[in-house]
């Protein structure tokens, strides 16, 4: 089984300890959707950037069981990170041109890339939007433009940082359905970070709860919205027994 393994990971910026002693495993196959759940400032974004190879840890080790290559080099070739905002897509360019540019700089052959863009645009139901400039899109459509660019590079893992931010109820429902469709039909696993328990419920298979700079519990269950919210607040209360970091 292909896994990403984090052992005793710590990340410190100047005197600020973002988190320490993080231990976790992310299975790449079979495909799954993981959830990083926690309040703002809990370290979700930092952890995703470490997994993506964009950041380096100050302590501990990250490795992938499917390679002997240095982890950061492997990660940059096999993982796509989509930030919570719209960085990485050019507003004056079309969805198609954004996906083409992103794939080319990632080293995907142009012929295969164009074929992927058409395939995944159909899966995401945005074929009619391919020639629209990003500045003309709704927030939900911009999220799909980012997903298209990432999917077209055929990475093993997608990291979505607060993808529900700024979406209305219809767009949230559409995004959730899209992510479930991706993981059931595309050879990739997904990690979603959020503090929005309603968005995460009934979609995530494995939960990692982050509070006060550490993972205090892992849950491997399907939670409905009510159960997830109760668990979130219970664990958040327990984390305060150890003091804020």
How confident is the model over 88-100, as pLDDT tens digits?
A: 789 999 999 999 9
Q: Using H for helix, E for strand and C for coil, what is the string for the chain?
A: CCEEEEEEEEEEECCEEEEEEEEEEEECCCCCEEEEECCCCCCHHHHHHHHHCCCCCCEEEEEECCCCCCHHHHHHHHEEEECCCCCCCCCCCEHHHHHHHHHHHCCCCHHHHHHHHHHHHHHCCCHHHCCCEHHHCCHHHHHHHHHHHHHCCCCCEEEEECCCCCCCHHHHHHHHHHHHHHHHHCCCEEEEEECCHHHHCCCCCEEEEEECCEEEEEECCCCCHHHHHHHHHHHHHHHHHHCCC
Q: Residue 77 forms beta bridges with which residues?
A: none
Query: How many other C-beta atoms lie within 10 A of the C-beta of residue 56?
Result: 11
How confident is the model at residue 241, as a pLDDT? Answer: 52
Domain ranges of the chain: 3-242
Q: Is the pTM of this model over 0.85?
A: yes
β-pair type (59-64, 3-13): antiparallel
Residue tagged 């995530």 (tokens): 204
Architecture per CATH, 3-242: 3-Layer(aba) Sandwich (3.40)
Residue 15 neighbours by CB under 8 Å, 6+ apart:
none
Give me the pLDDT at residue 244, please: 44
| pLDDT value for 84 | 85
Interval 32-78: pLDDT, tens: 999 999 888 888 999 999 999 999 999 999 999 999 999 999 999 99
pLDDT at 4: 96
Which segments in the chain show pLDDT lower than 50? 242-245
């Amino acid at each position: 089984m292909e896994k990403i393994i984090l052992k005793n990971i710590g990340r410190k910026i100047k005197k600020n300890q973002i988190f320490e002693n993080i231990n976790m495993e992310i299975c790449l196959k079979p495909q799954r959707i993981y959830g990083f759940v926690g309040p703002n400032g809990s370290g979700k974004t930092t952890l995703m950037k470490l997994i993506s190879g964009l950041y380096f840890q100050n302590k501990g080790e990250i490795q992938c069981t499917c390679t002997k290559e240095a982890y950061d080099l492997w990660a940059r070739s096999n993982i796509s990170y989509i930030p919570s905002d719209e960085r990485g897509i050019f507003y004056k360019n079309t969805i198609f041109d954004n996906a083409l540019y992103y794939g080319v700089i990632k080293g995907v052959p142009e012929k295969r890339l164009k074929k992927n863009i058409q395939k995944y645009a159909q899966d995401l139901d945005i074929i009619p939007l391919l020639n629209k400039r990003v500045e003309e899109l709704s927030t939900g459509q911009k999220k799909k433009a980012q997903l298209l660019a990432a999917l077209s590079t055929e990475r093993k893992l997608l990291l979505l940082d607060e993808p529900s931010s700024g979406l209305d109820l219809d767009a949230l429902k559409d995004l959730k359905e899209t992510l479930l469709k991706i993981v059931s039909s595309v050879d990739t696993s997904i990690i979603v970070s959020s503090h929005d328990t309603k968005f995460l419920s009934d979609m995530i298979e494995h939960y990692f709860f982050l509070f006060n700079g550490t993972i205090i519990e892992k849950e491997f269950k399907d939670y409905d919205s009510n159960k997830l919210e109760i668990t979130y607040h219970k664990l958040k209360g327990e984390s305060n027994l150890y003091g804020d970091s």
